[in-house]
Amino acid sequence: MNQIDSLPAEIRPPEANTVALVTGANSGIGFAIARQLLERGVSVWIGARDLGKGERSATELGPGAHAVQLDVTDEASVAAAVGQVGELDILVNNAGVNPGGDDIAGTSLDQLRAAYETNVFGLISVTQAFLPALTRSAHPRIVNISSGTGSLTWSSGPNPQFDRRVAKGGGLAYRSSKTAVNAVTVLTAESLGDAFKVNALAPGLRRTNLVAGMSVGGDPVEAATGAVRLALLPDDGPTGALWSWDGTRAPW
């Protein structure tokens, strides 16, 4: 796999009729990703557990946006979405949850199960279900939204991005699930080969529902720009890597 340290400055202009699916896209980073893909001429399916919210978001985004009911933890929902979406070129696995908990002593098994059910198993379920459609695409792209807090390198060494609580082992459920996402990303890339471009994005802390109640985080639009760069990589672009939102390579 291509081991470069930064993403290409230019993206590949999407061909006519390019189709993307963004899970968890009715708000936050997913919504911003959908908007930016639409602005580049990509038709986008807004995956949402609540179809009504998805439809309202699609209406707000305008022509080219379509809503599909998609609960990544429900196999029947995923299968139905495959039938509705049809052909697919870009899959952005954005849906994610943070069920809370703290360190190893302060996190319940239920919180761990909830994190893995959506962030890991749901991501794998959707990827597997849409793999036949992606394989038919001339430029298949998979973008997994991960987290810098899931980087083992950053977690085990000094990192000014993490506050003291996180650096001391907090956020076990969420962070370990994102470490698993990173592993799934690199193994999926190895399995599918260079015809696919499979990458993970560390979007940085953003003002989204994931951190509701916290007066922290940057604009989701900034993170979305990084995801769109990965979704529209040229055919000689990298695969099997974790990238920071600014286009620089992040450590596993």
Which residues are bridge partners to 141 per DSSP? 90, 197
Structure-token pair, residue 149: 């807090």
Q: How far apart are CA 145 and CA 15, in angstroms?
A: 24
Active site residue 178: yes
Tabulate helix, strand, coil % of the chain (nearest 5).
45, 15, 40
Contact 29, 203 (CB under 8 A): yes
Contact 96, 146 (CB under 8 A): no
Active site residue 174: yes
Helices 51-61 + 28-39 axis angle, to 10: 40
Contact 24, 47 (CB under 8 A): yes
Select which of 53, 116, 168, 178 is catalytic.
Answer: 178
Structure-token pair, residue 29: 């980073």
Collect all residues with Cβ–Cβ distance below 8 Å to 85 and sequence separation of at least 6: 19, 21, 45, 68, 130, 133
3-state SS assignment for residue 90: strand
Select which of 53, 116, 168, 174 is catalytic.
Answer: 174
Q: Which residues are catalytic?
A: 174, 178
